[in-house]
Amino acid sequence: MLDQKTTNLETDFTRHARIAYPIICGAMYPCSNPELVAAASEAGGIGIIQPLSLTFVHKYDFRQGIRYIRSLTSKPIGFNLIVEKSVKRYEDQMKAWLDIAVEEGVRFFITALGNPNWVVERVRPVGGIVYHDVVNRRWAEKALESDVDGLICVNNRAGGHLGSESPEQLVEALRGFGKPLVCAGGIGEEKDFLRALQMGYAGVQMGTRFIATTECKTHPDYKAAILKATSADIVATEKISGVPVSVIRTPYIDRLGLKAGPIARMLLKNARTKHWMRTFYTMNSLWSLKQTLQKGSAYKDFWQAGKSVDGIEKVESAGDIIRRFAAFAGGREDSSSSLRSESE
Ligand SMILES: Cc1cc2nc3c(=O)[nH]c(=O)nc-3n(C[C@H](O)[C@H](O)[C@H](O)COP(=O)(O)O)c2cc1C
* 184 in Cβ contact with 161 (< 8 Å): no
Does ligand 1 have an atom closer than 6 angstroms to the CB of 167? no
For the chain, how many helices (H) and strands (E)?
15, 11
* Dihedral class, residue 239 (left if φ above 0, else alpha if ψ from -120 to 50, else beta): alpha
Check residue 302 and give its pLDDT.
78
Q: Please tell me the distance between residue 27's alpha carbon and the centre of ligand 1 in angstroms.
A: 6
79-134, pLDDT tens digit by residue? 999 887 665 667 889 999 999 999 999 999 999 988 999 999 999 999 999 999 99
Span from the CA of 28 to the centroid of ligand 1 (angstroms): 5
CB 26 within 8 A of CB 208: no
Among 79, 63, 106, which residue's Cα sits nearest to residue 24?
79
Phi and psi torsions of 212, nearest 5°: -85, 60
48 lines ligand 1 (CB under 6 A): no
Q: What is the pLDDT of residues 218-262, one digit of tens each?
A: 999 999 999 999 999 999 988 777 778 899 999 888 887 776 666
Q: Which atom of ligand 1 is nearest to the CA of 307?
A: 26
Cα of 183 to ligand 1 centre, how many Å? 12
pTM above 0.85, yes or no: yes
Residues 6+ positions from 136 with CB-CB distance below 8 Å: 163, 164, 165, 170, 173
CB atoms within 10 A of CB 29: 21
**Is-contact 174 137, C-beta < 8 A?**
yes
- Check if 306 has its Cβ closer than 6 Å to any atom of ligand 1: yes
Q: Residue 128: CB within 6 Å of ligand 1?
A: no
- Determine whether the shortest distance from the Cβ of 78 to ligand 1 is under 6 A: no
Residue 243's pLDDT is what? 78
- φ and ψ of 151, to 5 deg: -125, 135
Distance 223 CA to ligand 1 centre (A): 15
Distant-in-sequence, close-in-space partners of 284: CB < 8 Å, separation ≥ 6: none
- Give the distance (Å) from ligand 1 centre to CA of residue 159: 5
218 in ligand 1 pocket by Cβ < 6 Å? no
**What domains does the chain contain, in order, with CATH numbers?**
12-218+311-338 (3.20.20.70), 220-298 (no CATH)
Instruction: Give the burial class of 190: count Cβ atoms within 10 A of its Cβ; 0-12 exposed, 13-18 middle, 19 or more buried.
Output: middle
Ligand 1 closest atom vs CA 152 = 19
Ligand 1 geometric centre to CA of 185 (Å):
8
Ligand 1 nearest-atom number relative to CA 210: 27
Write out the chain's pLDDT in tens, 344 residues: 455 677 889 999 999 999 999 999 999 999 999 999 999 999 999 999 999 999 999 999 999 999 999 999 999 999 999 887 665 667 889 999 999 999 999 999 999 988 999 999 999 999 999 999 999 999 999 999 999 999 999 999 999 889 999 999 999 999 999 999 999 999 999 999 999 999 999 999 999 999 999 999 999 999 999 999 999 999 998 877 777 889 999 988 888 777 666 665 655 566 555 555 555 556 566 767 777 677 766 666 779 999 999 989 999 999 999 999 999 999 865 444 333 333 33
Q: For residues 260 and 264, give the distance between their C-alpha atoms in angstroms, rounded to a whole number.
A: 6
Q: How far is the CA of 199 from the centre of ligand 1 (A)?
A: 21
**Which ligand 1 atom minimizes the distance to the CA of 207?**
21
- Give the Cα separation of 12 and 26 in Å (integer): 18
Mutate to test the pocket of ligand 1, among 23, 29, 53 (most ligand atoms within 8 A of CB): 29
Among protein residues, the one whose CA lies closest to atom 30 of ligand 1? 160
